[in-house]
Amino acid sequence: MGFKDQLSRALAFYDEVLRLPHRSEIKRELRDEDDIFYLLSFSEMLGIPNPVSYYTLELYPEMVEEFHDWHLRMGMEKSPIDGIRCC
Amino acid sequence: MPGIGIAVIGIIIFALGYLYYSKFIAKHIYRLDPNFRTPAHQFNDGIDFVPTKKSIVWAHHFTSIAGAAPILGPAIAVYWGWLPAFIWVVLGTVFAAGVHDFGALVLSVRNKGRSIGTLAERLIGRRAKMLFLFIILILVLMVNAVFAWVIANLFVTFPASVLSIFIQIPLAVIIGIYFLRRGKGLLFPSLLALIVMYGTAALASGIPALQIDLVSYFGGENATVAFGIDAVSIAFLIWIVILMAYVYIASTLPVWKLLQPRDYINAHQLIIGLGILYLGLLVTNPEVTAPVTRSVDDVSWFPLLFITIACGAISGFHSLVSSGTTSKQLNKESDARLVGYGGSIGEGILAIISIVAVVTLFSTQEEFLSTYSSFTTANEIGLNNFIEGAAQLATGLFIPEAIAQTIVAVVVISFAATTLDTAVRLMRYIISEIATEYKAYALTKKHVATAIAVGSSMTLVLMPGDERGFGAGGYLLWPLFGTSNQLLAGIALLLITIWLRRQGRNFLVTFIPMVFLLAMTLLAMFSQVWFEWAWYGSDSNFLLFTLGAIILIFAVWICLEAYLLFKNDKTKALEDDDR
């Protein structure tokens, strides 16, 4: 391996060290935004009245994967929706 | 003796400690299993739990724990001669800090990446959680007060560094917002930011107009400004108020906007700084002029040495970093040795260069003795001496001394400012958590909790003083910072000891450092609280007496908890560790 390769590998490593916390922080911010959207869509599952839940339920099959992670984060071990369930 | 000798002996002992002692601990005590499924794999969510290469985790862990504290402690402790400080840094790192950081990491990995605070609660109960929260609260309060004072002191002493530090803030925000939005790499923009900062520092050290020197604006050191207060005190007051206003804003912003990009710039500063100092040491090869040991009349080295150097020998703060963040990124359990033990070795290397920079600064031993005339003076000027000593080492790399001094001051202030941001943010969380425990929900709000954190820190840094006015008492708090830090380390070591005992393994490797640390803390606090700060003491000070008494009570509390745990063997609350 030449000096140039070693240098570029060292720089890539260094860059990765810097990016690691930043990437997770950006992802965390995005996840928080997503969580708020899910809360607005499925707030009835947490006992908050939602006049449009009849319509937002239609979104459920589209986001079943993310929904599973969301209800776990919200402290519900099992999916609160009967019928088609994620777990 | 040449300064290189100290550094080489220290590094050889560190290397032996890593190669043999940490290997022994990894194999026979913590029994690392490369096939164990770490929390990073168990709960991989791409955010907190991310399996990461061990070299990257090590670098990240090291830059998180290394700051201004391992520089400041040793620079003060050389007051008793360089040998005691050197021995404590070396042996403390190898036998106490290494097993502590490493153990906190392993314990957390074995328990779903939970933090030390949560583990304490599971192990001992809610009482332990409150004890833990209060100790951290005291610790971060001390950090805020001490570091605000340190930064204000450096701004007054090295006015050429002010502009660079202030330029760092917008640069960090630009990196945080502009470059990440475009998904570009962070390395070159943050290096560019560093070049701009150091360029500014170089210019400011030669152009007085660029130096924000409040003392000279008010008419020089001997001028009286208002209400009989002199220019230096007013400068302190203004800087502390500005700093506190800044940390209020910085600690309420999302971390990716300012705190994290600043950490990148600081990571460069840490690596470049260490590189320059060690290279400079090799080139200049200065002689050690400080005495090997020294008998003094005012403050005995025993037990105060062990709390004057906390970070750099052993620091409880590291257990928070190990268990809170690093444990969630460990790819294999066997990586814990490099990350935990290796991280504390890195901190030890920083503490060694701090000792070398200070003990080689003076041209004669008499000069050293007259500069370090009393322990109070040592607290006051330790950091300034490090900056001058480090600048002298940097001249070996053809950097003019005035510029080097400003740049080293910028590095130290950057570290201290980042620590201050993090500590205020942490204090805010803890105030919220304690308020939740006691159902005082009004205090859990972000701005209320931050206002309490900033207000109490500012009061603490401005209150203890003497005839020199504002800011004169900041250095009195350093030993208290050391004790609260050691208490935290004591709790972490207690938890690791309990875990090892339950596994039926040899727990002496953590038990002995724990007993030593708690004994030193109790001794130091007892002697200072009863014989110095009490109303009948030699140096009566109500504020220090109160804080010292609180820490003393906490220390006794930990000892009682440890005794009860060992007596009742109530350790079933921890997770099984799959063996």
- pLDDT recorded at residue B573: 47
Residue B375 located in a structural domain: yes
**What is the band of B376 on the pLDDT scale with cuts at 50, 70, 90?**
confident
Residue B576 DSSP code: P
Segment of B31-35, B112-116, B169-173 carrying the highest mean pLDDT: B31-35
Q: What is the mean pLDDT of residues B23-37?
A: 96
User: Using CB atoms, which residue from B55, B190, B329 is nearest to A18?
Assistant: B190
Whether the per-residue pLDDT at B470 is higher than 70: the answer is: no
Model pLDDT, residue B290 = 95
Calculate how close chain B gets to A3, using CA atoms only, in Å: 19
For the ranges A81-85, B94-98, B345-349, which has the lowest average pLDDT? Answer: A81-85
Contacts of B346 in chain A (CB under 8 A): none
Is the pLDDT at B337 greater than 90? The verdict is yes
Digit-coded pLDDT (tens) for B302-320: 899 999 999 999 999 999 9
| pLDDT beyond 80 at B514 | yes
| Per-residue buried b or exposed e for B158-196, using 16+ beta carbons within 10 Å of the residue's own CB | bbbbbbbbebbbebbeebbeebbeeeeebbebbeebbee
Mean pLDDT within A28-37: 89
Q: Which of B406, B414, B383, B412 is closest to B166 using CA atoms?
A: B414
Q: Does A8 touch chain B (CB under 8 A)?
A: no
Taking CB atoms and an 8 Å cutoff, what residues of chain B touch A26?
180, 256
Tell whether A31 lies on the interface with B, counting CB pairs under 8 A: yes
Cβ pair B56:A16 closer than 8 A: yes
Q: Is the pLDDT of residue B125 over 70?
A: yes
Q: pLDDT (tens digit, 9 = 90+) per residue, B400-423?
A: 999 999 999 999 999 999 889 888
- Residue B578 confidence class, pLDDT cut points 50, 70, 90: very low
Domain assignment present for B535: yes
Tokens of B66: 């290394």
Q: For chain B, how many structural domains are there in total?
A: 1
pLDDT score of B191: 87
Average pLDDT over residues B5-34: 97
Name the residue of chain B whose CA is nearest to A26's CA.
B256
Contacts of B259 in chain A (CB under 8 A): none
How much is the pLDDT for B11? 97
pLDDT value at B556 more than 70: yes
CATH number of the domain that residue B233 is part of: 1.20.1740.10
For residue A68, list chain B residues with Cβ-Cβ distance below 8 A. Answer: none
A29 touches chain B (CB under 8 A): yes
* Rounded-to-integer distance, Cα A68 and Cα A79, Å: 7
Residue B579, domain member (yes or no): no
- Nearest residue of B to residue A30 by CA position? B47
Mean pLDDT on B98-107: 97
A65 and chain B in contact, CB less than 8 A: no
Mean of pLDDT values over B29-40:
95
Are the Cβ atoms of A17 and B263 closer than 8 angstroms?
no
Contact call for A17 and B63, based on CB within 8 A: yes
Contact A14 B187 (CB under 8 A): yes
Give SS3 for B2: strand
B109: closest CA of chain A, how far (Å): 19
pLDDT at position B468 = 53
Interface residue A84 vs chain B (CB under 8 A): no
According to DSSP, residue B286 is labeled: P
Any bridge partners for residue B469, and if so which?
B466
When mean pLDDT is compared across A32-46, B114-128, B348-362, B492-506, the lowest value belongs to B114-128
Interface contact A25, partner B, CB < 8 A: yes
Residues from B in contact with A at Cβ < 8 Å: 45-48, 50, 52-53, 55-56, 59-60, 63, 180, 185-187, 190, 254-256, 260-261, 263-264, 267, 329
Residue B336 contacts by C-beta under 8 Å, 6 or more apart in sequence? B26, B30, B32, B102, B105, B106, B109, B330
User: In this complex, do B56 and A18 lie within 8 Å of one another by their Cβ atoms?
Assistant: no
Burial class of residue B411 in the structure, from the number of CB atoms within 10 Å of its CB (0-12 exposed, 13-18 middle, 19+ buried) = buried
Which sequence spans correspond to the domains of chain A? 3-74
Cβ contact (<8 Å) for A20 and B50? Answer: yes
User: From the list A20, A25, A31, which residue is nearest B52 (CB)?
Assistant: A20
Which residues of chain B neighbour A28 with C-beta distances below 8 Å? 47-48
Cα of A37 to nearest chain B Cα, Å: 19
**pLDDT at residue B540 tops 90:** no
Contact flag B329-A29 (C-beta cutoff 8 Å): no
A80-84, B185-189, B342-346: range with highest mean pLDDT: B342-346
- Number of A to B CB contacts under 8 A, please give it: 54
Measure the CA–CA gap between B256 and B352, rounded to whole angstroms. Answer: 32
Residues B11 and B346: their CA atoms lie apart, in Å, by 10
**Min CA distance, B470 vs chain A (Å)?**
38
Provide the residue range defining the domain that includes B356.
Answer: 3-568
The span from the CA of B350 to the CA of B278, in Å, is 10
A76 touches chain B (CB under 8 A): no
Q: What angle do CA B148, B149, B155 make, to 5 degrees?
A: 90
Residue B104's pLDDT is what?
96
Average pLDDT over residues B138-160: 91
